[in-house]
Amino acid sequence: MAELKNRRYLDALLRKPVDRTPVWMMRQAGRYLPEYRATRAQAGDFMALCKNTELATEVTMQPLRRYPLDAAILFSDILTIPDAMGLGLYFETGEGPKFKNPVRDLMDVSALKVPDPNKDLKYVMDAVSSIRRELKGEVPLIGFSGSPWTLATYMVEGGSSKTFSKIKRMAYEEPEALHLLLTKLAESVTEYLNAQIDAGAQAVQIFDTWGGVLTHHDYREYSLDYMAKIVDGLNRNNNGEKVPVVLFTKNGGLWLEDIAATGCDGVGLDWTINIGDARKRVGDKVALQGNMDPAVLYASPDRIRQEVSMILDSYGEGTGHVFNLGHGITPEVNPDNAGAFINAVVELSKTYHK
Is 31 annotated in a binding site? The answer is yes
Is 57 annotated in a binding site? The answer is no
Is 77 annotated in a binding site? The answer is yes
**Cα 249 to Cα 255: distance, rounded to the nearest angstrom:** 9
Annotated catalytic residue within 154, 192, 222, 226: 154
Annotated catalytic residue within 40, 104, 279, 305: 40
Annotated catalytic residue within 7, 8, 20, 27: 27
Is 27 annotated in a binding site? The answer is yes
**Cα 81 to Cα 103: distance, rounded to the nearest angstrom:** 14
Is 66 annotated in a binding site? The answer is no
Smallest CA-to-CA distance from 315 within 353, 278, 345, 271 is with 278
- Secondary structure class of 246 (helix, strand, coil): strand
Task: Please say if 169 is a catalytic residue.
Answer: no
Q: Strands 241-242 and 245-249: what pairing?
A: unpaired
Neighbours of 137 (CB within 10 A): 13
Annotated catalytic residue within 70, 77, 265, 270: 77
**Cα 295 to Cα 304: distance, rounded to the nearest angstrom:** 10
Is 30 annotated in a binding site? The answer is yes
Smallest CA-to-CA distance from 155 within 97, 209, 110, 96 is with 97
Task: Please say if 279 is a catalytic residue.
Answer: no
Annotated catalytic residue within 31, 66, 281, 303: 31
The kind and range of the H/E element at 196 are helix 175-199
Is 28 annotated in a binding site? The answer is yes
Task: Please say if 154 is a catalytic residue.
Answer: yes
Task: Please say if 220 is a catalytic residue.
Answer: no
Q: Are 288 and 267 in contact (CB under 8 A)?
A: yes
Q: What residue type is assigned to position 16 of the chain?
A: K
Task: Please say if 40 is a catalytic residue.
Answer: yes
List the catalytic residues.
Answer: 27, 31, 40, 77, 154
Q: Which residues are annotated as a binding site for substrate?
A: 27-31, 77, 154, 209, 327
Q: Which residues are annotated as a binding site?
A: 27-31, 77, 154, 209, 327
